[in-house]
Amino acid sequence: MDLLLFSITPIIIVILYIYFKDRYEKEPKELLLYNFLLGGFVSILITTILYYIFNIILPLTNTTSVLQQFIKAFFVVGFSEEFSKYLIVRYYSQTHKEFNEPFDGIVYAVVVSMGFAATENIFYVLEGGYATALSRAFTAIPAHASFGILMGYYMGKAKFSNNKVLYNLTGLLFAIIFHGAYDFFLFIDFIPGIWVGAFISLIVALILSRRAIKKHQLDSHFRT
């Protein structure tokens, strides 16, 4: 039970952080819960199906091939996971009447991402123990949050723009790029020291995320 709580705590912290950053018109808690559950179950299911399809049409068996690990990071893992989150935000969250200012894109994308991360984290932590929980609390969880913020920033712009398709897909693309970059440097850790690239990409994503949050706070329709 303690291990389960330890795996969920960083998820809760991220959600609360984003919730309180939504300064001017907070989202209904019930709706946030629905988004979290969709991320934790539906998004995970979609990702699993996409993994299965990729494994059939594009089997990647050479763990020491930089090219294969690049494809796995960006086109299998990055695409599958972010696309599954994107579908929830695009066809459930973004269409809801409560999605009524640009910052809401960040809120819902992060909550969906944290639902996904919660399910993923529980499996990893139950298998790896407290050391894994502590490590992921400062790496994988912030990474998922930053991918959600970057996606949500553009999806928030899309809701109130005539270029909805362009902005929505831009958000998806940014999430895939940063997710892919983060995983790629970890996948090719057989190259000494290359794992540092994962932390650099994470730091860049976090810096951009902070700017995205501030920008949408300033652009709030409810700011007086």
Q: Decide if pLDDT at 96 tops 90.
A: yes
Specify burial of residue 187 (Cβ count, 10 A radius: 0-12, 13-18, 19+): buried
Is 171 within 8 Å of 152 (Cβ atoms)?
A: yes
Percentage of the chain beyond pLDDT 90 is: 96
**Mean pLDDT score, 161-188:** 98
- Residue 220 Cα to chain centre, angstroms: 22
Average pLDDT, the chain: 96
User: Would the pLDDT of 179 be above 80?
Assistant: yes
Contact 134, 115 (CB under 8 A): no
5 pLDDT band, cuts 50/70/90, is very high
Please report which confidence band the pLDDT of residue 223 belongs to, taking 50, 70 and 90 as the band edges: confident
pLDDT digit string, tens, across residues 138-152: 999 999 999 999 999
What's the pLDDT score for residue 20?
Answer: 97
Q: pLDDT at residue 224 above 90?
A: no
Please report the sign of the dihedral spanned by the C-alpha atoms of residue 86, residue 126, residue 141, residue 202: negative
Q: Is the pLDDT of residue 2 over 90?
A: no
pLDDT at 102: 97
pLDDT digits (tens, 9 = 90+) for 41-94: 999 999 999 999 999 999 999 999 999 999 999 999 999 999 999 999 999 999
Tell me what the mean pLDDT of segment 215-221 comes to. Answer: 92
Q: What is the pLDDT of residues 98-138, one digit of tens each?
A: 999 999 999 999 999 999 999 999 999 999 999 999 999 99
Q: Can you give the pLDDT at residue 221?
A: 84
- Collapse the DSSP code of 212 into the 3-class scheme (helix H, G, I; strand E, B; otherwise coil) and give the result: helix
| The pLDDT value given to residue 23 | 94
**Which pLDDT belongs to residue 143?**
98
Sign of CA dihedral 76, 82, 84, 87: negative
